[in-house]
Amino acid sequence: MMSLHDQAGGRKYLTREEHARFLLAADQAPRDVRAFCHTLGWSGCRISEALALTAERIDVATGTITFETLKKRQRGLFRAVPVPPELATMLDLVFGLRGLRGPAAKAPLWSWSRATAWRRVKEVLAAAGIEGAQASPKGLRHAMGVAAVGQGIPLNLVQRWMGHAQLTTTAIYAEAIGEEERSIAARMWQ
């Protein structure tokens, strides 16, 4: 069963503050690394899904990225994820999305291997001073799930955005201690 904590009790997701530090550190990285890190940080996609991303799957006008869900071991399963307009604009500026046509629009944006992508994300996490179980690309994915549930986004939308086959997988994000739970506990302590 999936858990938001490792076997030693370490948190496997970035907090809001860590997420912000990660994005700030990414802004200091080369353009392609910055764009990759922001894509992971704002979309909640899997690292392999980001590496498979093509220009034709990014709609700059609507701020939507369409990922092929690769975890389900079946080709042709797509999900559209809303992202901040600034991310769509950044991707357009870095890769010239609006000018790409034909085969160039179908080519992956990043030509890195999975290991290289993982290493670049880890370098940005280290530059942000983030260490522990949460300091991984998966920690960014979990951060999106926790943040979405914490902001009251319905679980079925979070499930679709994350590409989960089962709602029970998405429901794990509701177990993170959020602001509302801390507020209730604070009233108890008074």
Q: Is the pLDDT of residue 137 over 60?
A: yes
d(CA 32, CA 151): 30
State the Cα angle at 17 between 130 and 20, rounded to 5°.
Answer: 85
Give tens-digit pLDDT for 89-104: 999 999 998 877 888 8
- What is the 8-class DSSP label of residue 5? B
- Is-above-0.85 flag for pTM? yes
16-189, which class in CATH?
mainly alpha
d(CA 38, CA 91): 9
State the Cα angle at 158 between 32 and 162, rounded to 5°.
Answer: 45
- Average pLDDT (178-182) is 60
Q: Is the pLDDT of residue 182 over 80?
A: no
pLDDT at residue 97 in the model: 87
- Per cent of the chain over pLDDT 90 is 59
